[in-house]
A and B are shown apart, each in its own frame.
Chain A
Amino acid sequence: MKAVLWGTRGSLGSASAETVVYGGDTSSVELVTSRGTILVLDAGSGVRRLGAAVPADVKRVDLLLTHLHMDHIQGLGFFGPMYNPNIETHVWGPASTNATLRTRLSRYLSPPLFPVCVRDLPNVFFHDVMPGTFEIDDATITADFICHPDPTLGYRIEADGASIAYMPDHEPALGAELPYRPDPEWTSGYCIARGVDVLIHDAQYTEAEYLTHVGWGHSSMRQTTAFATLAEVGQLVSFHHDPSHSDSMLEEIAEKISTDENLRFKFFPGKEGVEFHVGRCC
Chain B
Amino acid sequence: MSDAQTMTLEEREATLGGVGTARKRKEDVRFIQGAGNYVDDVKLPGMVFGDFVRSPYAHARIKSINAEAALAVPGVKAVLTAADLKPLNLHYMPTLAGDVQAVLAEEKVLFQNQEVAFVVADDRYIASDAAELVEVDYEELPPIVDAFKAMDEGAICLREDIQGKTEGAHGLRKHDNHIFEWEIGDLEGADKALADAEVTVKELITYQRVHPSPLETCASIASMDKIKGELTVYGTFQAPHVVRTVASLLSGIPEHKIRVIAPDIGGGFGNKVGVYPGYVCSIVASIVLGIPVKWVEDRIENLSATAFARDYHMTGELAATKDGKITGLKCHVLADHGAFDACADPTKWPAGFFNICTGSYDIPVAHVSVDGVYTNKAPGGVAYRCSFRVTEAAYMIERMIDVLAQKLEMDPAELRLKNFVQPAQFPYNSALGWEYDSGDYPTAMNQMMQAVDYAGLRKEQAEQRDKVARGESRSLMGIGVAFFTEIVGAGPSRNCDILGVAMFDSCEIRVHPTGSAIARLGTKSQGQAHETTYAQILATEIGIPSEDIGIEEGDTDTAPYGLGTYGSRSTPVAGAAAARVGRKIRAKAQKIAAHLLEVAEGDLEWEIDRFKVKGLPEKEATMKEIAWAAYNNLPEGMEPGLEAVDYYDPPNMTYPFGAYLCVIDIDIDTGESAIRRFYALDDCGTRINPMVIEGQVHGGLTEAFGIAMGQEIAYDELGNVQGASLMDYFLPTAVETPIWETDFTVTPSPHHPIGAKGVGESPNVGGVPAFSNAVIDAFSHLGVKHMPMPHTAWRVWKQCQELGLTK
Q: Are chains A and B native binding partners rather than an unrelated pairing?
A: no
